[in-house]
């Protein structure tokens, strides 16, 4: 199963075996299936609120023999058709929550709900890998307010679109930047193109809330002003 560049970047961040991987907003479950196939976790839990998609995914997982591991052990998986914000974490360590393919504002609400609905003993063990389709500035600002710290961040150019893959947890003191300062490399032409696209977008938004969007523009311009 060949993953897109975006999903491959997420997959690469799970380099050590985990106890649980939560593949949230999993759509067709391609990423979680790769986790199963390479035995990336003791258990992979697929979560999405769309009933039809999850019924189809469960049927596919049930009949698919590709996921038998080298040890001939049957991998453990679960399909949950529910709001991602309501997932119940466990207190065991080495858990990863992957949320991708949705807007940054919705993604932030889901992370807020997960943190609110679970004890600190549970969320402190979790690493979040997030890949929104837009609204990354507001997402990053919100994650910082929640007290999360940055583990890693990167820009991925996939199928003529730019994505940010943001890895955060409560177990690091690295500050989250609203513009993702550590991920930019302006020796790469694609990064310059992405910055220009963001500035163009936010300039069009100025009439909606000029003070806010002017700050966003200034922050993105500052990446290259120095």
Q: What confidence score (pLDDT) does residue 226 get?
A: 65
Same domain, 12 and 100: yes
Q: What confidence score (pLDDT) does residue 59 get?
A: 92
Q: What confidence score (pLDDT) does residue 2 get?
A: 84
CA angle 194, 198, 134 (to 5 degrees): 95
Same domain, 199 and 146: no
Same domain, 18 and 124: yes
Q: What confidence score (pLDDT) does residue 27 get?
A: 72
Same domain, 133 and 93: yes
Q: What confidence score (pLDDT) does residue 125 get?
A: 85
Q: How far apart, in whole angstroms, are the C-alpha atoms of residue 79 and residue 73?
A: 19
Q: What confidence score (pLDDT) does residue 222 get?
A: 97
* Mean pLDDT per 10-residue section of the chain, whose length is 226 residues: 92 96 89 94 95 93 68 78 96 94 97 96 94 97 98 97 98 96 97 98 94 97 90
Q: What confidence score (pLDDT) does residue 82 get?
A: 96
Same domain, 121 and 200: no
Beta strands in the chain (DSSP E): 18-24, 41-48, 76-81, 95-100, 126-131, 149-158, 161-169
Per-residue b/e over 158-193, b at no fewer than 16 CB within 10 Å?
eeeebbbbbbbbbeeeeebbbbbeebbeeeeeebee
Structural domain of residue 196, as residue ranges?
A: 184-226
């Amino acid at each position: 199963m060949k993953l897109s560049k975006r999903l491959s970047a997420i997959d690469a961040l799970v380099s050590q075996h985990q106890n649980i991987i939560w593949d949230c907003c999993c759509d067709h479950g391609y990423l979680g299936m790769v986790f199963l196939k390479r035995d990336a976790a003791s258990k992979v839990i697929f979560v999405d609120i769309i009933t039809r998609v999850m019924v189809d995914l469960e049927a596919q997982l049930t009949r698919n023999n590709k996921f038998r591991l080298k040890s001939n052990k049957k991998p453990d998986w679960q399909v949950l058709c529910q709001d991602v914000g309501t997932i119940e974490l466990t207190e065991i360590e080495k858990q990863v929550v992957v949320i991708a393919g949705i807007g940054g504002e919705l993604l932030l609400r889901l992370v807020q709900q997960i943190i609110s609905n679970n004890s600190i003993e549970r969320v402190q063990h979790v690493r979040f890998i997030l890949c929104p389709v837009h609204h990354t500035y507001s997402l990053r600002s919100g994650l910082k307010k929640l007290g999360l710290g940055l583990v890693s961040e990167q820009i991925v150019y996939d199928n003529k679109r730019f994505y940010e893959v943001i890895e955060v947890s409560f177990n690091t003191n690295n500050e989250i930047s609203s513009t993702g300062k550590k991920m930019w490399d302006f020796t790469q032409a694609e990064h310059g193109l992405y910055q220009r696209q963001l500035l163009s977008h936010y300039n069009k938004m100025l009439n909606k809330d000029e003070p806010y969007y002017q700050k966003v523009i200034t922050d993105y311009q500052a990446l290259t002003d120095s």
